[in-house]
Amino acid sequence: MINLETPRKHRALVDQAHQVAMNMLRPISRKYDSAEHAYPKELDMLAALIDGLSDSGTAEGAGATSMSTELGTKKVADPSKVRNGANLASILSVAEMCWGDGGLLLSMPRQGLGNAAIASVASPEQQKRFAGVWASMAITEPSMGSDSAALTTTAVKDGDHYVINGEKIFVTSGERSDAVVVWATLDKSAGRAAIKSFVVEKGTPGLKVERLEHKLGIRASDTAVITFTDCRVPAENLLGSPEIDVKAGFGGAMATFDNTRPLVAAMAIGVARASLDLTRDLLEKAGIVIDYDRPALTQSAAAAKFLELEADWEGARLLTMQAAWMADNKKPNSLEASMSKAKAGRAGSAVTLGCVELAGTLGYSESELLEKWSRDSKILDIFEGTQQIQQLIVARRVLGLSSAQLK
């Protein structure tokens, strides 16, 4: 039976993450929001601490590098016994860290979205070889919109290498990372089945970081445009199988999203909770007390609005925990991953903007972080698949239709 309370085994991890968020990330949040593109040097010490915990085994598998690689491949031996593992630990710790600052979390060394991709589809040998590598993920292209299958970056086999050509935009940590997990097609005529991901290490001839983007939010995180021009990558850097299996379709690539979408949902949950916590305190200072023992309609308009926002946030939190719990218990979670991302992305934007409104001038000014959190939250409804794309995926799963049948 699924229990969506924080498991006892993960409570120490959650407490540690909260302390880091409160004492290390929150104090420098405004500093690196203003100093866009400046590297947060304070994160080096934190990254070393996390590495030490991981090496000692006390980190409980939290982080992008620990997401399950065997999703749906085997069943739990005893259905009466459940497992709360690395996936649940990851989303709980990520939510806590984003309570401190989402942009700083995305800047954390060796915890890039590309690391989640490696954990999802890499072979055991590749995981060992790329252990400790900070990997960003390059998917989006100037002309592809939200359709990942429409990418045009190519990878052509040449002896024991692949030659990659194309352009990627909005690459999170694209400048700071050690390597880039780039999605490319082996054969455009083969459609989605030919899309594979490659680990391209920085310094590889032909890989060039063209520029960094100026953004609305998550300014502590660098977001790059990267081009690949006759970029030769060793064949062993292709993640997963090199075979083009039309029957398997886009499955290998989508396994990455099944892991990263709940992570992004957890980020939205963390930012939204930060807004709710601060807004509750501000309302109480103004003499408006939230009474959980009375119906919302019998309370002030501000209290009723706050309760509505908090309920929206709670629904997103539970969906995200469900998606992670299913992954830990080897249950296919593509539907739940997209549901959690859709719900949390939308709720995050609604909650943070709602808190800005409730706080009035304090919410709109830079005297508090509410305005920053409202800016940061919007990207969490966009990257890793927009709200509309998630709803389309959910509809396909519920109706049992393919991407060709429901566009």
- Please state the domain extents for the chain: 8-126, 134-239, 251-399
184: phi then psi, degrees, rounded to nearest 5: -145, 160
Backbone φ, ψ for residue 123 (5° rounding): -75, 165
Residue 59's pLDDT is what?
A: 54
Instruction: Supply the pLDDT for residue 146.
Output: 73
Q: Per CATH, which fold does 8-126 belong to? A: Butyryl-Coa Dehydrogenase, subunit A; domain 1 (1.10.540)
- Which two tokens mark 146? 């939200």
pTM, entire model: 0.91
Residue with tokens 């939205």: 268
Would you call 244 exposed, middle or buried from its count of C-beta atoms within 10 A (0-12, 13-18, 19+)?
A: middle
Catalytic residue among 141, 167, 368, 384: 384
In the prediction, which pLDDT does 72 show?
A: 41
Range 134-239 classified under CATH 3.40.50.300: no
pLDDT digits (tens), the chain, 407 positions = 677 788 899 999 999 999 999 999 999 999 999 999 999 999 998 888 777 666 655 555 555 555 554 444 444 445 567 788 889 999 999 999 999 999 999 999 988 889 988 988 899 999 999 999 999 999 999 988 777 778 999 999 999 999 999 999 999 999 999 999 999 999 988 888 899 999 999 999 999 999 999 999 999 999 999 999 999 999 999 998 888 876 555 655 677 788 889 999 999 999 999 999 999 999 999 999 999 999 999 999 999 999 999 999 999 999 999 999 999 998 999 999 999 999 999 999 999 999 999 999 999 999 999 999 999 999 999 988 899 999 999 999 999 998 889 98
Is 384 assigned a catalytic role? Answer: yes
Topology at the third CATH level for domain 251-399: Butyryl-CoA Dehydrogenase, subunit A; domain 3 (1.20.140)
Look at phi and psi of residue 155 and say left if phi exceeds 0, alpha if psi is from -120 to 50, else beta.
Answer: beta
Nearest Cα to Cα of residue 166 among 136, 149, 143: 143
**How far apart are alpha carbons 405 and 407 in whole angstroms?**
6
Closest CA to 182 of 249, 218, 232, 143: 232
Q: What is the pLDDT of residue 81?
A: 72
Q: How far apart are CA 98 and CA 355, in angstroms?
A: 17
How many Å apart are CA 281 and CA 168, to the nearest integer?
Answer: 43
Dihedral sign, Cα of residue 277, residue 282, residue 284, residue 285: positive
Pairing of strands 154-158, 161-172: antiparallel
